Amino acid sequence: MPDIAIQNINHNYGSVHALQNLSFEVGKGELFGLIGPDGAGKSTLFRILTTLLVPTSGSASVAGFDVVKDYRQIRRRVGYMPGKFSLYQDLSVEENLQFFATIFGTTIQENYHLIEDIYVQLAPFKNRRAGNLSGGMKQKLALCCALIHEPEVLFLDEPTTGVDAVSRREFWEMLQRLKAQGITILVSTPYMDEASLCERVALIQEGKILSINSPAAMVKSFDKPLWAVKSDRIYQLLLDLRTFDLAERVEPFGEYLHIVGRPGISQKTILDFLKNKNHEGIKIQPAQPTIEHVFLELA
């Protein structure tokens, strides 16, 4: 039985359709990623699943309980880390953790095994006010607070937004360890590169799911020719390639521009086209698709 089951969920804020007919399931112990930009509806879905919001229509269950009828049951069983840092900034690290342990009717000692890995990093700052922690440390504290009552399902809404690359990496390593302990995790992120760290992901935009699959299968499904190109005048290159018949789309990708090609595109056809436009320093190579390519293709 899946730990999270969502069937035809819709949510409207006034005339805005924040979620449109969402359906998917997350298995027990799965690390599932919800990938999409701000305003895609990720937070709305999280608020529905954590029983803070009643959906306009559709049904969902978490840990076997209905989000509308059995919301009290769900509230004991889930851990929630909202998108915005939501701890008491004027309380110290330890006081925050103590408080959340108490309101869930437990103690830090009782579930220390769950947070130990994370808490040892926080321990040197345990008397520091939460508001004075760095972004990465704040996220770790928030995760500890969400874990302290040993939840069955963990909801993490954009835990890595605004956190630097090193802290992000550490955070994901922690999630892998939690998954290993059998906790079901639904995590959302706007960073496409984090998708590959999940078992399965759903790409979501404007309240609709574009695709659900394992990251590998998703990348594999991208079957159009993909070329990376650069020259000395990158902006001119972009403008020129947009007029290229054999290019379906041209987008900046790092130091290169990526061309999603039409049938017939090859290194030679691209090179000929660019020489014609008087480009210098031309470099052309085949490129490997990523989740980001899939997203751009579907969006």
Partner 1 sequence: MSSTADHIIEADKLTKRFGDFTAVDAISFKVKKGEIFGFLGANGAGKTTAIRMLIGLSRPTEGEATVAGFDVYRQADKIKENIGYMSQKFSLYEDLTVRENIRFYGGIYGLSRKKIKEQTGRIIEEVGLENSAGNLVGSLPLGWKQRLAFAVSMVHSPSIVFLDEPTGGVDPAARRQFWEMIYQASAAGRTVFVTTHYMDEAEYCDRVSIMVSGKIEALGSPAKLKEDFSASSIDEVFVQLARGGAVISD
Partner 2 sequence: MLWRIFSAFVKKEFYHILRDRRTLFILIGMPIVLVLLFGYVVTNEFKDASIAVLDNSRDDLSHELRQHLEASGHFHIVADLRSYGDLEGQFKTGKIKMAVVIPARFEDDFFDKKQTTVQLIADGTEPNYATTLVNYASQMILRFQQIKSGAAAAPYRVKVETRMVYNPQLRSAYNFVPGVIAMILMLISAMMTSLTIAREKETGTMDLLLVSPLPPLLIILGKVVPYTVLSFLNAVMILVMGFYVFHVPVLGSLPLLLGICLLYLAVALALGVLISTKSETQQAAMMSSLFALMLPTMLLSGFIFPIKSMPALLQHISSIIPATYFIDLLKSVMLKGNDLSFIWQPTLILTFMLVVLLGLALVSFKVRKE
Phi, psi of 187 (to 5 degrees): -125, 140
- In angstroms, the CA 227 to CA 214 distance is 24
Q: What does 199 interact with, of partner 2, partner 1, none (CB < 5 to 8 A by kind)?
A: none
From the list partner 2, partner 1, none, pick the one residue 99 interacts with, judged by a Cβ distance below 5 to 8 Å according to partner type.
partner 2
DSSP state letter for 18: E
Tokens representing residue 281 in the block: 């320093």
Within residues 33-92, the interface with partner 1 by CB under 8 A covers: 36-40
* Cα angle for residues 10, 15, 297 (degrees, 5° grid): 60
The total number of residues written for the chain in this structure: 299
Residue at 249: amino acid letter: R
Binding mask 170-189 for partner 2 (x = CB under 8 A): --------------------
Find the largest Cα–Cα distance for the chain: 73
Interface positions, 32-91, toward partner 2 (CB under 8 A): 47, 50-54, 71-72, 75-76, 78, 80, 82, 84-91
Measured distance CA(143)–CA(156) in Å, rounded = 8
Selection from partner 2, partner 1, none that 103 binds (CB < 5 to 8 A by kind) is: partner 2
Residues that bind partner 1 (CB under 8 A): 36-40, 124-125, 133-137, 161-167, 169, 190-193, 205, 233-236, 238, 251-252, 254-255, 292, 295-296, 299
Residues that bind partner 2 (CB under 8 A): 47, 50-54, 71-72, 75-76, 78, 80, 82, 84-91, 95, 98-100, 102-105, 129, 145, 149
